[in-house]
Each structure stands twice: as structure tokens, then as C-alpha cells.
Amino acid sequence: MTDYSPDTISPTTPRVGVIAGSTRPGANSEALTQWVHELCVSRNTCDYELISLRDWNLPLLDEPGVPAHTGPTLPHTKAWSNKVSSFQGFVFVTPQYNWGYPAPLKNALDYLFKEWNGKPALVVTFGGRGGGKCAAQLKEGTFALFGAMLCCQPLIRDSIGSG
């Protein structure tokens, strides 16, 4: 997390999680997510924290209950819930894989419900084909379910194509 001086960020400053949607080692998404995070921080409007799903190492969804109906029961889910709950909004930086969004992002989203509910989200997608289908799937499926407010969908065309 970036170290802010006391006169620039107050206790009432909104916290925004910048989430890297891919866990592929050495992928373009690492550098792009870092760049988006630095761009956000340079605006000095919110307290932005970079979150790598690789660091969370969430197993495939293993909660016994349905997140919309029950609270987290397993230690890794409780920790993930606490992290996500600490933010008032999110920036998802994610490649488009096979015309959709990566499985680790889907898994991380599926673990929780109320923690995402009603919070604003910005999706930055990229890939060899631009990432539009990835953004559309997030908007029409996942974010609609959570009641999240999708701010916009910037697309970055990746000429390398290694997400």
C-alpha cells in the first residue's frame, strides 16, 4: 500500500481496491495493474490499495454455504471477506481469456456477496482482441448480481497477447 502523508489522505477518504484479475506469473497484467494503480494514486482522490489474487491463493470455492445466504466460515474466506469489506469501491484490471474473464477472478468474486454489494466498480480490460467481451460478462453477470455500479469499461488492446 502506498504511504500517504497525513495532510493528503484523511480518515474519511474512500478506500479503493485495485484488483489484478490474473494470477499468471510474468503476464502483462502485472505491469498493467501496477500502472493503473500508480495512475489512480497520482490522482490523490482516494486511498488505493493494489491487490494481487495470486497473493491470496484462494482454493476453488470451498465454502459449504451460499455466500448470499450465509457468512464466511473458513479462515481464508473470513480473511478475504475482511479485505474486500474494507473498501468502498474497486478497480478490476483483468485480461480477456478465451472471450471471458480469468477463472481466479471469477473464483474470488464467487467467494463473497454482501462485501461486493452496491459498491462502485471500474473494469479495465485488455487482450489481443481488446477485452470487450470480458467487460460485458462482468457487467451483465457478476456485477448485475451484486448490484454493483459499473462506472465505465476502458479497454486496452494488447498487441503481445500474453495477458
Q: Which pTM value belongs to this model?
A: 0.84
Does position 111 have pLDDT exceeding 60, yes or no? Answer: yes
User: Does any domain span residue 20?
Assistant: no
**Alpha helix locations (H) across the chain?**
28-43, 53-56, 75-85, 103-110, 132-137, 144-146
User: Does any domain span residue 149?
Assistant: yes
Does position 158 have pLDDT exceeding 70, yes or no? Answer: no
User: Does any domain span residue 34?
Assistant: no
User: Does any domain span residue 16?
Assistant: no
User: Does any domain span residue 111?
Assistant: yes
Owning domain of residue 152: 42-157
End-to-end CA distance of the chain: 24
Q: Give the number of domains in the chain.
A: 1
User: Does any domain span residue 84?
Assistant: yes
Instruction: Please tell me the predicted confidence (pLDDT) of residue 3.
Output: 42
Instruction: Please tell me the predicted confidence (pLDDT) of residue 155.
Output: 53
Q: How far apart are CA 73 and CA 138, in angstroms?
A: 26
Q: How far apart are CA 68 and CA 141, in angstroms?
A: 15
Between residues 45 and 161, the one the model is more confident about? 45
Instruction: Please tell me the predicted confidence (pLDDT) of residue 1.
Output: 43
User: Does any domain span residue 76?
Assistant: yes
CATH number of the domain within which 141 lies: 3.40.50.360
